[in-house]
Amino acid sequence: MTKHTTTNKTRRQFIKTAAAGTVIAAAGITGFPYIARAAAAVKVGIVHPVTGWAQYSGSQCRFGAMMALDEINAAGGIKSLGGAMLEAMLGDAQSKPEIGAAEVEKMNEAGVSSIVGAYASNICLATTQAAAKHGIPHVVDVGVNDKIVSRGLTNTFRFGPGFGIITKAGVEGFLAVNKAAGSPTKRVVIVHENTTGFGAGIAGLMTKGLNPAGIEVVEVLPHPTPNKDFRNIALKIKEINPDVVIPSHYYNEGVLFLRTLQRQKIQPKAIYSVLGGASSQYRFLAEFPDAAQYVMDCNHWFDPKNQAAAAARNKTQAADKHYSYEVFLAYTAMKFTADAIERAGSSDRAKIVEAMASSSWSDHFMPYGPTKIVDGQNVGARPLVTQILGKNIDVIEPPEYATAKAIFPRPA
Amino acid sequence: MSDRARLMGWLILIAVLAIAPLFITSGRWIGFLEMTLFIAVLGQGWNILGGYGGQYSFGHAVFFGTGAYIQALLQFKFGWSPWITLWFAVSGAALVGAFVGYLSFRYGLKGSYFALITLAFAEAFHVLSRSFPSITEGGRGVQLALNQDPVQAISTFQFNFAGPFLKAYGFYYTIFAILLLTYWVTWWMERSRFGAQLVAIRENEDAAEALGINTFRVKMGAICLSAAVTASAGVYYVQKYLFIEPGIAYGPTKSVEALFAAIIGGVGTVLGPLLGSFFIHGVGEIAKEIIGPVFGDRPGVDLILFGLILIFVLAFVPRGLAGLLEALWKRKVGGRNA
Amino acid sequence: MELFGIHIPSYGWQTVLGSAISGVFLGSIYALVALGLTLIYGVLHIINFAHGALLMLAMYAVFYLWNSLGIDPYVAMLIVVPGGFLFGYVLQRSVISKASHGRDEIILLVTLGIAIVIENAALFFFSATERSVRVPYDLDGFDLGVTFVVYPELAALGGSLLITLALWLFMSRTDTGKAIRAVAKERQGARLVGINVDHIFAVSFGIGTACVAAAASLLVPTYAVHPQIGYLFVLIAFTVVVLGGMGSFVGALVGGFLIGITEQLGRLYMGESLGVITISVIFILVLLFRPTGLFGQRSG
């Protein structure tokens, strides 16, 4: 950081004394930053539900996006635009799709060049549509519903995985873990939320994936969001006595479910979640370490071997926040946006859309490899399978990202 | 206020609402107007039963949601034209109104009991809509196919990708047309014998019964009309956002927005819901734009202010904004009429 | 088992019994939240929409007492209950009654407005992060064979019974209690006899809030606090109040258990999602066929 500033000042002085007026294209090759002339800021809209039912997740997303934006500015802004700073325009979708769309209209008026948002799938559907009307590139940070990218809107991009990819990885990861332990799993139970749709979709796909491998899905137990009681589900699990329980829901329900199982002394061979709300959350591990042990989750995760990811985690914790998937997904979405603006060399919406569609960005800390966008979806995106072991959340699948070996079945 | 003066006032208001948008190029403010008119229609639906009839419903979302779901599902599952499905949506909601009304009025529910049973029905429909995914798509919600062909804009009743005029103003004039129609119906109702009977029931149901009014029949008429008007807002919502799900359709938000607009604006008046909606959305914008940033854009500030203003209005402007206007007008022309 | 073509699952008797027992515990929580609500409705005839928000505030109070001062949630009751009483008293005396001019419909909306203010103030000050309290005896309890019952759940059950008893004794044995009952039954008459009705209204609201504060203490060991937690219980609390009879504590208790058990068994057989419709159905049936509830007074 200091090195940059010193170099900046030195260069500025040099240019002044030399009275040169040309922009240094060569700086891109040599790696030196551009002179920080007062270049017009590039506005980026950041819309999330920071009030209403999704307020926690929305706030986490906003935090992650802003953290990335601040980092980009601190590192000199958009070099190809002469060090133009990114200017955030924050919007609150109030957990309602129509308000999200209204915020996008406001952002359009304010002349944003791009938008990042909006956490919840149903809000994303509305915001991407509103953005499409004005040709504003819109990067979806979380929203896993596959309909978001399959409507044929050319302005919509998703850097992270949709639930089709997530579930496929979930099945593969489970079969791998199962195989490594000698395939002890014959019968499973799926517990999922059914109020916002992602749970039901995952349950269907999991069943289709597990059956051919000889694993019977004995029962699928849906529940609403919010859910205040899991006793019935716990009792049913006790009666069925499956080898593995596969939950898929939001954080609060995840916590309550796992605590209920703990209180009822129900311990299947494993809890293997797919988008389990609490199963890969540091917060849950901190508050209920005993209930969290050995829980596995196929969920959004960063590349554990990447230093930048650890740095972001430290920064987040220093701000007294939890390093949850909302933070690093929104962070990455913002960086993806900045990279596209950088490559477009312009704040023009259409050029940024083009840059995003042709992106091959690889300077990120997600386990996606180099970016490749097909119909708005980054096809390299994938979740990782984690397991809570002791005080850590380790990656257990796939092997190229693993930091620990899975413990399955869990010890009694 | 004389009828003629009232009529003049309305004509001016309608003219302004019809023409002013053409001078507004800001999509954001057109959106603001659309949202405001949408809630104004929702509120008028509530007003017919609550304001004129005195039957305060706390679950009006049940009519909004039913209208929205029928509009969405008939298009989604059978590919029918939205111009046809809307008739089914509105009549379907009226049927639900008849169902709720029959049970509630047959068993003599009034006041808080009536409010509570409407709440229960809204919640019941909420549960039903998310528990039968094969019929309603459950929690996933119903996502209508987006039309990007400008030629098909009118036939698909979608204007996001239409020609320049429709793209900018299509939805505005849609909700404006719905507003005109529903408000005209309310205006007519207010002046009809049916309306007089309804108001009589509101003032004193027993006396009305004694006067020979068939209170059951009148209340049934009111709830069906109310349901139909509310459902028209649901139709608009589906066409504008192309998405509906149990929480949006039957959640408490729409019920609360409907009754707030009507009550703040002035119950039992045609203008009330429109005034109330403008006030609510105006305050909301001010709170968001001006107050919010003072507190570092921390969430919740605008809604705190909104709640406080609501309580203030309820405390000091009990007859609503329409009542206030009426009082001001009287004072202005008081000299002449004295 | 098939009934009218709908598949009804069958479960072992242990599961069914376990479910019913869990219904009792769930019901005790409903009763706890409903007790305050029924008193407020019985006396002031207002559907207190702010009830859920008040529950949430009290839960935050319990959380912060635990978080900053290490006070056990049950011990915290000694602080939040009187605190809740004061808060409710002041709220009714200086805000609700002033804003509503005594009109029922307006009172409803004022409480709704208060709920919005409180909920968003909580969001502003406490942020949306869910807060959990971890008591050391969280996992200790009894094995009933069909199901485990942990101490926090027993405490909630015990609490509901004790509070009901305390309220009943208060209403029947103390002067204030008698005054409250008088005002509930006959407002004008009570005024004529010299009872300060406004003060009694405020006291009633205060007691109602104190009850919900006690409920908060009993809920916190199990449920995480966040600004929206009130919604989870309030709708059901209304159902309990109507079923039990507005103004009846025994009714709130019995109603709570009935709804808890019916809901749990409904959810067992109809699925967790559809099963909650049993609550709405009960609500509607009671309103239609017996609006005064099981134990309610005829007039009021």
pLDDT of residue B147: 86
* CB spacing of A105 vs B27 below 8 angstroms: yes
**Residue of A233, A175, A238 whose CA lies nearest to A199:** A233
Search chain C and give the residue with CA nearest A321: C129
Query: What is the identity of the amino acid at C270?
Result: M
Question: Which 8-state DSSP code applies to residue B162?
Answer: S
CA angle A119, A125, A128 (to 5 degrees): 90
Range B315-324 average pLDDT: 84
pLDDT of residue A33: 44
Grouping H, G, I as helix, E, B as strand and the rest as coil, residue A367 is: coil
What pLDDT, on a 0 to 100 scale, did the predictor assign at position C59? 95
Confidence of residue B335 (pLDDT cuts 50, 70, 90): low
E strand or H helix that includes residue A218: strand A216-223
A150 interfacial to chain B (CB closer than 8 Å): no
Predicted confidence band at A25 (pLDDT cuts at 50, 70, 90)? very low
**A-chain residues near B27 (CB < 8 A):** 105, 108-109, 133-134
Do A84 and A107 touch, CB atoms closer than 8 A? no
Q: Among B56-65, B249-258, B286-295, C224-233, which stretch is predicted with the lowest mean pLDDT?
A: B286-295
**Chain A residue with minimal CA distance to C132?**
A287
Burial A294-317, CB ≥16 within 10 A → b, else e:
bbbbbbbbbbbeeeebeebbebbe
pLDDT of residue A38: 52
Q: Where are the domains of chain A?
A: 2-30, 42-161+322-381, 164-299+385-401
Kindly list the residues from chain B whose CB atom is less than 8 angstroms away from the CB atom of residue C288: 103-104, 107, 109, 117
Q: Give the amino acid at B311.
A: I
Q: Which ipTM did the prediction report?
A: 0.86
Q: Subunits that touch chain C (at least 3 Cβ pairs < 8 angstroms)?
A: A, B
């930091």: which residue's tokens? A403
pLDDT grade, residue B39 (50/70/90)?
very high
Q: Which of B119, B137, B253, B291 to mutate to test the interface with C (most CBs of C within 10 A)?
A: B119
Composition of chain A by helix, strand, coil, percent to 5: 45, 15, 40
Q: How many CB atoms lie within 10 A of CB C94?
A: 11
pLDDT at B53 over 80: yes
- pLDDT per residue as tens, chain C (300 positions): 666 656 678 888 889 999 999 999 999 989 989 999 999 988 888 888 899 999 999 999 999 999 999 999 999 999 999 999 999 999 998 888 877 766 666 777 788 889 989 988 998 888 877 888 888 888 888 888 888 888 888 999 999 999 999 998 998 899 888 888 888 888 888 888 888 888 999 999 999 999 999 999 999 988 889 888 887 788 889 899 989 998 889 999 999 999 999 999 999 999 898 998 999 999 999 999 988 888 876 543
Contacts of C98 in chain B (CB under 8 A): 315
CA distance B30 to chain A (A): 9
- A58, A232, A252 member nearest C272 (Cβ): A232
Q: Which residue is it, tokens 């929480």? A: B247
DSSP A299: E
Contact pairs from chain B to chain C, CB under 8 Å:
116
Q: Is the pLDDT of residue B296 over 90?
A: no
Q: Which residue has the tokens 């003049």?
A: B8
Q: What average pLDDT does chain B have? A: 90
pLDDT at site B334: 67
Minimal C-alpha gap between B45 and chain A (Å):
20
Give residue C4's pLDDT. Answer: 62
Q: Determine contact: A131 vs chain B, CB below 8 A.
A: no
Cα–Cα distance for residue pair C265/C261, rounded to 1 Å: 6
- Please give the pLDDT value at position A5: 43
A70 or B140: which leads in pLDDT: A70
- What's the mean pLDDT in B46-68? 95
Give the pLDDT of residue B3.
Answer: 77
Convert B85-104 to b/e letters by CB count within 10 Å (16 or more is b): bbebbbbbbbebbeebbeeb
Which tens digit of pLDDT belongs to each residue from B191-224?
Answer: 999 999 999 999 999 999 999 999 999 999 999 9
| Signed CA dihedral, B168, B170, B172, B176: sign only | positive
Distance, CA of B286 to CA of B293 (rounded, Å): 11
Q: Give mean pLDDT, residues A141-167.
A: 90
User: Given a cut of 80, is residue A187 above it in pLDDT?
Assistant: yes
pTM of the predicted model as reported, rounded to 2 decimal places: 0.87
Confidence band, pLDDT 50/70/90 cuts, at residue A6: very low
- The CA dihedral of B117, B121, B126, B128, to the nearest 10 degrees, is 140
- Residue A209 scores a pLDDT above 50: yes
Cβ-Cβ contacts under 8 Å for A71 (sequence gap 6 or more): none
pLDDT classification of B1: cutoffs 50, 70, 90: low
Tell me the angle at which helices B272-286 and B301-316 cross, rounded to the nearest 10 degrees. 140
Topology of domain A164-299+385-401, CATH:
Rossmann fold (3.40.50)
Note whether B14 and B230 are within 8 A (CB): no
Residue A35 confidence (pLDDT): 44
CA distance B311 to C150: 43
The answer to whether residue B118 scores a pLDDT higher than 90 is: yes
**Which pLDDT value is given to residue C102?**
63
Amino acid A30: pLDDT: 38
Q: Where are the alpha helices (DSSP H) in B157-214?
A: 164-191, 193-203, 205-210
Give the model's confidence band at A22: pLDDT under 50 very low, under 70 low, under 90 confident, else very high.
very low
Confidence band for A200, pLDDT divided at 50, 70 and 90: confident
Q: Is the pLDDT of residue A254 over 60?
A: yes
Inter-chain touch A196–B160, beta carbons under 8 Å: no
Quick one: pLDDT at residue C3? 62
- Mean pLDDT rounded to a whole number for chain A: 88
Please list every residue in chain C whose beta carbon sits closer than 8 Å to the beta carbon of residue B119.
235, 238
Tell the CATH superfamily of the A42-161+322-381 domain: Response regulator (3.40.50.2300)
**What pLDDT, on a 0 to 100 scale, did the predictor assign at position A8?**
47
Residue A273 falls in which region: left (phi positive, over 0), alpha (psi -120 to 50) or beta: beta
pLDDT band at B152 (very low <50, low <70, confident <90, very high): confident
Distances (CA, A) of A126 to B147, B243, B276: 14, 8, 26
Band (pLDDT 50/70/90 cuts) for residue B330 is confident
Say if CB A160 and CB A300 are below 8 A apart: yes
Determine the residue among A105, A124, A155, A163 to mutate to test chain B binding: the one whose Cβ has the most chain B Cβ atoms within 10 Å. Answer: A105
Q: Taking CB atoms and an 8 Å cutoff, what residues of chain B touch A126?
A: 241, 243
Closest CA to C224 of C73, C121, C76, C101: C73
Task: Give the residue, C197 or A26, on which the prediction is more confident.
Answer: C197
The confidence score (pLDDT) of residue A14 equals: 47
Q: Mark yes or no for CB contact B120/C123 under 8 Å.
A: no
Contact C273 A262 (CB under 8 A): no
| Sequence-ordered list of residues with C-beta below 8 angstroms from that of B17, at least 6 positions apart, any chain | B37, B176, B179
pLDDT in tens, A297-314: 999 999 999 999 999 999
Sequence-distant (≥ 6) Cβ neighbours of residue B174 within 8 angstroms: B157, B159, B236, B239, B240
| Strand spans (E) along chain B | 142-143, 243-244
